[in-house]
Amino acid sequence: MTNSSKDKTIRTTETLIEQGLCDPTQKEKLNQIAEQFSIAITPEISTTIHHPGIAKQFIPAVEEAHIAPNELTDPIGDEPHQKIKGVIHRYTDRCLLLPVSVCPVYCRFCFRREKIGSKQPALSPEELQNAYAYIQNHPEIWEVILTGGDPLILKPKSLDEILKNLTAIPHVDVIRIHTRVPVVDPSRINASLLKVLKIKKPVYIVLHANHPEEFTEAAKKACASLIDHGIPMLSQTVLLKDINDNVDTLSQLMRCFVRNRIKPYYLHHPDLAKGTQHFRIPIRKGQALMKALKKKTSGLCHPQYVLDIPGGYGKIPLQHCYIQEKNADLYSIEDLDGQLHRYEE
Ligand SMILES: *Cc1c(COP(=O)(O)O)cnc(C)c1O
Ligand code: SF4
C-alpha cells in the first residue's frame, strides 16, 4: 500500500490500478462499471483492503457487467412504497427517511446501487420539509429510520436539523440510523456528532458490517464512544459469497459484534441487485450456516436471517424450520444434532 491511500478516499480505477488493486488490462471495462456504480474506499478501509474478505466488498470487478435475468433495478421494491420523495413507508408503524444518497464507501453488492452514488443529490430543504409533513400527517408512524445513502455522512449541523424536526413530531417515539460510518470512517464519530445524537428521544444505531477485519482499533473505539454515549447498537450483515459464507468467519463476525456490545440483528440474504450474481449463494446454504452458527455460538451471537421479498412485500425470516406439525396435538421437533423428538400438547 502506498502512502497516498492513507490521505484520502480512493475514487477511481486509475488509483486502484496504481496501487496494484485492479488489473490494468481490465481498465476500460472497470471504468464503464464505475460510470454507473461509484467507487469509494476510505483510508480506514484501505488499511485492510488486501484482505480478500474486504477487497471483494469494495473493489469493482468485471463480473458486475453481467446482468443476470432475475436481477432487478429496484430489487426490494422500494418504489411502490415511496410515498413522497425520500420517504419509503412499507410497514405501518415505521418508515424510512433517505436524506442523502451518498456513502463513505460504495459496497459492490449494494441493494440500492441504482439509486445511490457520488453524483446523486441529497434531499433539498423543501423536499425535507415535505417529508416531515408526510410523517407528521401519519400518526401511525412510531419509528423513523434514517438510511440512504449513509445518514452519518451528513454534517453534524444538517443531521441536527433533521433530528430536531423528527423529535418535534409527537407520535415519533424512536429514531433509528442505519450506517456503515463507525467502521468505514470512524473519525466522523467525533464530539460534535455525538452531541447532535443526544436528543430527547431514543436513537438506535444499526451498524452494517460484513467481515471481522472491518473492526479496526479505530472502528471499535468509534462504536464504544457511541454506546458509552447512551446509544444502543444493533448490527446488520449481508451474507456474501467468499466474504462471510462460512461458519468460522460468520461466528467470528457475530462474536466481534457482541464483544463490542453490538447485538446482532439481521443477516440479509443478498438482494437481486443488478450485476451482483457473484455475491449470491443459495438460500439453503444460508440456512445451513445459520444452523451451524446456532450450534456453535452463544444465543447473543444469533442474528435473524432474512430475505426482502422482491416487489416490496417486506422482510421475512428464512430460518430452517425445527418444528413439524404431525396432527392436531402432535409435533416433531428437531434438535441441533438433527435428531427428531415427539412433542405432545
Ligand atoms: C428494512 C425496512 C424497514 C425496517 O424493518 P425492520 O424489520 O423494522 O428492521 C422499514 N421499512 C422498509 C421499507 C424497509 O425496507
Ligand atoms: S453503505 Fe449501504 S447504501 Fe451505501 S453502498 Fe454500502 S450497502 Fe449501499
Q: What's the pLDDT at 7?
A: 56
Q: Which of 106, 152, 154, 206 to mutate to test the pocket of ligand 2 (most atoms within 8 A of CB)?
A: 106
Look at residue 4 in the predicted model and tell me its pLDDT: 38
Residue 16's pLDDT is 97
HEC per residue, the chain: CCCHHHHCCECCHHHHHHCCCCCHHHHHHHHHHHHHCCCCECHHHHCCCCCHHHHHHHCCCHHHHCCCCCCECCCCCCHHHEEECCEEEEECCEEEECCCCCCCCCCCCCCCCCCCCCCCCCCCHHHHHHHHHHHHCCCCCCEEEECCCCHHHCCHHHHHHHHHHHHCCCCCCEEEEEECHHHHCHHHCCHHHHHHHCCCCCEEEEEECCCHHHCCHHHHHHHHHHHHCCCCEEEEEECCCCCCCCHHHHHHHHHHHHHCCEEEEEEECCCCECCCHHHCCCHHHHHHHHHHHHHHCCHHHCCEEEEEECCCCEEEECCCCCEEEEECCEEEEECCCCCEEEEEC
Query: For the chain, which residues score pLDDT lower than 70?
Result: 1-7
The pLDDT value given to residue 148: 86
Q: Kindly give the distance from the C-alpha atom of residue 344 to the centroid of ligand 2, in angstroms, as a whole number.
A: 47
Tell me the ligand closest to 141's alpha carbon: 1
Catalytic residues, by residue number, are 90-91, 94, 103, 107, 110, 112, 271, 308, 315
Ligand 1 within 6 A of CB of 41: no
Closest-lying ligand 2 atom to the alpha carbon of residue 103: 4
pLDDT for the residue numbered 5? 38
Q: Is the CB of 178 under 6 A from ligand 1?
A: no
- What confidence tens digit (pLDDT) does each residue in 275-324 have? 999 999 999 999 999 999 999 999 999 999 999 999 999 999 998 999 99
